C-alpha cells in the first residue's frame, strides 16, 4: 500500500508554495552553472540543459548556463562535492530526481543526508517505462516478464541508477505485479546515466532498458528501441500516445520520476529566493510548457519550502519501500 500511494503522489499536480516577495533581490547571478550528476544523454543532463537554456531565453540569468557532467555513485559524487567543496556557491544549481531521493532514502551517499543541501523546486515528472531493442522478440511487458519468471538468467535489465536505485525499483515493482515473488532473482545492471544504459542495450549486452519516457523518445524516433510499456495510470498525450501502459496490459505498475534541483546548503537566503523565483518563472512559461509536452513530462509544481517538505516525505517513504523489498535492512 505504501508503494502505490507514494507513486501516485509523485505523478499528481500539487499546490504551489511560492516566494512572495516582489522586491529586487540583493543577489545578482554571475557565471551560473548546473551540475548533472551523470554522463551526457541521461535525464539529469537533459534537465540541466533544458532548464539552463530556458533561463537564458527568458533573460533570467546573464549569458548561458554552464552544464558540468559529474558521474559517479548514482549522484553521490556530485552530492559530496557540493557539500564538501562548494557549499557556499550561490551561482550553482544541481539536477535531482526521484533517483536522488531513492539513494538518500537508502543511506547510499555515505556520510551525507538530505538536510545538508537546500531543495529548490520541481520542474515536472517523467513516467517510467520498460523498453527493448527494436529487433527484440518481445513485444509486450507481460511477454518479457513471463520470460523473467520462467528463466531469470535470460533477461538482464539496465538502468541509469545504481542497484537499489529508482530505475531498479521500477523493474521490481513491475516484476511483483507480474507474479514474480522472489524479486531478488531479477537481474539488473547499473550504469551512470540512461544514455549509457541504452548504448549497452543496442550493443546486445543486456536485453531490456528501464528509464523514463523522455530518455527513450530520441531512440524510439531513430528506430533503435521499442517501448513495451509506460508506467503511467493512463496513456500520455501527444507524441507519447502511441506507447501502451503497463496497466492496459494487465500489470498495475505505476511509477513517476520527479525532476528538479537542489542547491548548496550554505547558499544565502537571498540567492535561494532568487533561484526559487527564477526556476518557478521557467515552470510557468509557455516555453517550458512546450518542452514538457515535447518530452512527455507530467505536471509537478513545487517550490521552496513545499518542495523541501515533499522531498523529505519522499525520502522517508522510499526508505520504507526499500525495507519492504529487502534492499535496506
Average pLDDT for 154-175: 88
Give the pLDDT band (50/70/90) at residue 25: low
Contact assessment for residue 307 and residue 95, using Cβ atoms and an 8 Å cutoff: no
Reported as a pLDDT band with limits 50, 70 and 90, residue 23 is very low
The residues spanned by each domain of the chain are 2-22+30-126+256-324, 127-249
Query: In CATH terms, are 2-22+30-126+256-324 and 127-249 the same topology?
Result: yes
Q: Which of 11-15, 250-254, 265-269, 276-280 has the lowest mean pLDDT?
A: 11-15
In percent, how much of the chain has pLDDT > 70?
92
pLDDT, average across residues 264-286 = 98
Over residues 193-201, mean pLDDT: 87
In the predicted structure, residue 277 carries a pLDDT above the cut 60: yes
What integer best gives the mean pLDDT of the chain?
88
For domain 2-22+30-126+256-324, give its CATH number from 3.40.190.150, 2.60.40.10, 3.40.50.2000, 3.40.225.10: 3.40.190.150
For position 14, what pLDDT does the model report? 41
Rounded mean pLDDT of 212-240? 88
In terms of pLDDT, which residue wins out, 168 or 36? 36
Sign of CA dihedral 274, 277, 280, 285: negative
Instruction: Give long-range contacts, CB 8 A cutoff, 24+ apart: 289-294.
Output: 291/50, 291/54, 292/124, 293/237, 293/238, 294/238, 294/239
Give the Cα separation of 112 and 128 in Å (integer): 27
Superfamily of domain 127-249 in CATH is Periplasmic binding protein-like II (3.40.190.10)
Amino acid at each position: 500500500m505504501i508503494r502505490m500511494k507514494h507513486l501516485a503522489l509523485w505523478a499528481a499536480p500539487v499546490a504551489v508554495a511560492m516566494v512572495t516577495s516582489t522586491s529586487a533581490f540583493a543577489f545578482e547571478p554571475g557565471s551560473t552553472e548546473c551540475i548533472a550528476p551523470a554522463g551526457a544523454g541521461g535525464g539529469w543532463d537533459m534537465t540541466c540543459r533544458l532548464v539552463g537554456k530556458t533561463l537564458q531565453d527568458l533573460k533570467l540569468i546573464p549569458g548561458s548556463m554552464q552544464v558540468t557532467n559529474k558521474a559517479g555513485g548514482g549522484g553521490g559524487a556530485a552530492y559530496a562535492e557540493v557539500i564538501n567543496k562548494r557549499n557556499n556557491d550561490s551561482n550553482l544549481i544541481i539536477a535531482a530526481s526521484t533517483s536522488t531521493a531513492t539513494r538518500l532514502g537508502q543511506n547510499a551517499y555515505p556520510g551525507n543526508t538530505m538536510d545538508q543541501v537546500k531543495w529548490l523546486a520541481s520542474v515536472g515528472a517523467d513516467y517510467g517505462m520498460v523498453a527493448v531493442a527494436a529487433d527484440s522478440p518481445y513485444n509486450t511487458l507481460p511477454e518479457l516478464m513471463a520470460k523473467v519468471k520462467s528463466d531469470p538468467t535470460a533477461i538482464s535489465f539496465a538502468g541509469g541508477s545504481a542497484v537499489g536505485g529508482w530505475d531498479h525499483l521500477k523493474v521490481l515493482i513491475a516484476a511483483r505485479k507480474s507474479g514474480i515473488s522472489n524479486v531478488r532473482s531479477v537481474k539488473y545492471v547499473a550504469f551512470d546515466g540512461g544514455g549509457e544504459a541504452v548504448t549497452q542495450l543496442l550493443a546486445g549486452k543486456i536485453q531490456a532498458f528501464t528509464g523514463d519516457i523522455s530518455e527513450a523518445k530520441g531512440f524510439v524516433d531513430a528506430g533503435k528501441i521499442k517501448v513495451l510499456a509506460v508506467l503511467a495510470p493512463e496513456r500520455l498525450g501527444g507524441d507519447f500516445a502511441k506507447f501502451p501502459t503497463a496497466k492496459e496490459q494487465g500489470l498495475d505498475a505505476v511509477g513517476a520520476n520527479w525532476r528538479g534541483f537542489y542547491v548548496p546548503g550554505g547558499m544565502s537566503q537571498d540567492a535561494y529566493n532568487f533561484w526559487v523565483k527564477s526556476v518557478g518563472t521557467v515552470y510557468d512559461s509557455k516555453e517550458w510548457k512546450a518542452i514538457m509536452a515535447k518530452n512527455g513530462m507530467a505536471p509537478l509544481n513545487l517550490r521552496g519550502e513545499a518542495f523541501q517538505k515533499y522531498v523529505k516525505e519522499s525520502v522517508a517513504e522510499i526508505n520504507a519501500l526499500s525495507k519492504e523489498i529487502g534492499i535496506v535492512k
